[in-house]
A and B are shown apart, each in its own frame.
Chain A
């Protein structure tokens, strides 16, 4: 399996599940920081169907929760979904299992920043645009979206 002999790494490798992955580490930390029972999620998809920004996300919110359940940190923190989330609370209000999904999203952004994954850096903004944006706005964006 691991010997690829010069081939590019697989684009969609299988998730190798172990009890450590589904109980300790990343998943445990998400539960601790957010205080949310992510295992309660039964994947009804209500959070995604009501999300006003779902159309901009490459992974829908329900699948983000699913990836947390399986301890898939890298898939989440390198994805744009957690940053597109506007924290509007639509998902939180509608979740039939009472999970504060917005709080999970906040937690995931926090973990991404801890891991040094910047969603937004100075090199990503066009200098012309930068000149038009008020300075407090720029500072706010960097604060929220980068380390």
Chain B
């Protein structure tokens, strides 16, 4: 019989106050197979671990059980200690008598009885545990970054700089994302494009980065270290290898298409590049707007292109890539104004959103940085900014804080004042949240020195009264309602996940949270990883965040990828499902229940095998298997049965 040692932790008073740890040690010593028990104040401390190592050798233990906190916390600590003393790590088990016992009970006598039973179940499990070896998995050292905004660009650059290959996929024809649309950036007011374009150019020219713009993820299979990714290269109808980016086609195109980049404040042709600093600076033809595609006549672009780069026959292409790790950096959108009925639902021309105002402020925007309102080009003198337009409104819109609006609205008001000295900005807010380096100072400067009027209250209604745009709000600081006849209203619309996020996460098999943003593995300790191994998160796709935070997270995600790639192979936990080939009859009940696509039907043998690299050991297939052919390593049916017996007090 195995010689089992049990070590009972006091965890200071965390356990010892509610559980009589000495009695647990005494009682457990009576259990069959247990040859040594000891309690200690902090098992996880260096002397605690040394005690385990010493006793493994002295008592010639075949297995150890640490009765302490959750295995999430210190399983790896004690398995490493056991391994140092010459034990197979899978012969070390944790009995959780803290989170599942002392912390949730107050009756010392009953809690002690329960703790004894908990340890008893693990003793039963330990008796039948096999020694296991980790499963080595090779890693393809090439990363995929999805999304070419500042997050994706930063991640790609960091990985590429460390010597690994990166594919940067972007659905638009140019990288740059929303940051390329911004005028100046808070709190230092650097010109957004001036600080972004060097990074765009660097990403475009980096020998380790392959840009795939105007492309989308079609299909992803495989697992960490070994993903197979199919990418759709959308047809631009322009041969990008030939095109020199001279722009003649764009000048001559007779179609008028509202510019998404300029928030529809301007138009461009059906053949276009979204903005002059685009990387790559190659045009695409918008098939839905192209006169030739709609009517069969025109082809003017083809006629003016001297190098014959226009190709109306082009079709979408598909490329397949082998990838080791994937960073998802798909960014954000903003709540459309049409959704906000009380703010005019988009019918009032001089009620615009923050990104449109960015374009009005931008030196490269439709008004070359002069603030002119969309309806008649007048320079607005009374400008109202409305924060929380759709944010912090759990009943009707979005429950969360969009986080960036307090700062960008202050920036908007400030930049407006710098351009229109006799104009007056007003900002309606619920709370001003300016946590961040230099942010509070930025806000106070705006309030004190720039004469921006902050009004504490949510705007109830914006409506037309003749040729006036009237804003009805309140100021809870005076206890009075406020009415302003505005020349221009700018809504800080809620930051929302992009439309394509829901579809993409299905393809990637990763999770989103309740608001549709990508879910991280742990909100504090694993903020840039998805629950699913091999997927990392960067930027506003994971939740609203500003540029400094986005860049920090993007570099953190890149660092995780680099750390993964720095190993020759991965070690997969072997405590996963396995199949008794003699028992399996190939019924495939297990295939749909597996959340990780780890069960694969083998036609030749007529059995369903376990892909060991994909299996996370959740046990779904074990429970579903009607013939008992699927078992979990070190958690077999017989182990579970004897654990249940022990937990019920039986022998």
Contacts and interface: CB of A to CB of B under 8 A. Distances in A.
A15 B451 contact: no
Contacts of B472: 14
B80 interface: no
B83 interface: no
Main secondary structure of the interface of B (DSSP, over half): strand
Interface in A12-68: 12-19, 22-23, 37, 39-40, 42-43, 62-63, 66-67
A72 B453 CA distance: 14
Given A14-B483, A70-B475, A22 B444 contact: no
Nearest to A70: B478
B600 to A, nearest CB: 62
B451 A12 contact: no
A69 interface: yes
Contacts of A42: 444, 447
Given A39-B447, A40-B447, A63 B483 contact: no
Chain B interface bracket (under 10, 10 to 19, 20 to 34, 35 or more): 20 to 34
A67 B444 contact: no
A16 B448 contact: no
B444 A40 contact: yes
Contact of A19 (B424, B455, B480, B481): B424
B480 A15 contact: yes
B202 interface: no
9 contacts: A14-B480, A15-B481, A16-B485, A19-B381, A19-B382, A22-B453, A63-B479, A69-B453, A70-B475
B478 A39 contact: no
Contacts of B485: 16, 18
The 4 closest A-B pairs by CB, nearest first: A19-B424, A14-B481, A40-B448, A14-B483
Nearest to A66: B477
A16 B484 contact: yes
A23 B456 CA distance: 19
Interface in B476-532: 477-485
Contacts of A39: 447-448, 451
Interface residues of A, number: 24
Contacts of B475: 15, 66, 70
A15 B444 contact: no
A16 B455 CA distance: 13
Contact of B424 (A22, A43, A69, A72): A22
Contacts of B451: 22-23, 39
Contacts of A69: 453
Given A22-B453, A37-B448, A70-B453, A16 B424 contact: no
A50 to B, nearest CB: 18
Contacts of B483: 14-17
A15 B478 contact: yes
A62 B483 CA distance: 22
Interface of A: 12-19, 22-23, 37, 39-40, 42-43, 62-63, 66-67, 69-70, 72, 75, 97
A17 B453 CA distance: 10
Contacts of A18: 382, 424, 484-485
A18 B422 CA distance: 12
Interface of B: 381-382, 422-424, 426, 444, 447-448, 451, 453, 455-456, 472, 475, 477-485
A21 B123 CA distance: 79
Give the interface centre of A17, A66, A72 by most chain B CB atoms within 10 Å.
A17
B167 to A, nearest CB: 49
A39 B453 CA distance: 8
A72 B480 CA distance: 11
B448 A72 contact: no
B476 to A, nearest CB: 10
B473 to A, nearest CB: 9
Contacts of A19: 381-382, 422-424
B294 to A, nearest CB: 48
B483 to A, nearest CB: 4
A20 to B, nearest CB: 9
A129 to B, nearest CB: 35
Contact of B478 (A13, A22, A37, A66): A66
A67 B448 contact: no
A70 B451 CA distance: 11
Give the interface centre of B423, B447, B480, B485 by most chain A CB atoms within 10 Å.
B480
B453 A15 contact: no
Contacts of A75: 478
A102 B448 CA distance: 19
A78 to B, nearest CB: 15
Contacts of B482: 14-17, 70
Contacts of A72: 478, 480
A23 to B, nearest CB: 6
Contacts of B456: 43
A131 B266 CA distance: 80
A9 B548 CA distance: 52
A97 B485 CA distance: 31
B480 A12 contact: yes
Contacts of A12: 480-481
A75 B475 CA distance: 15
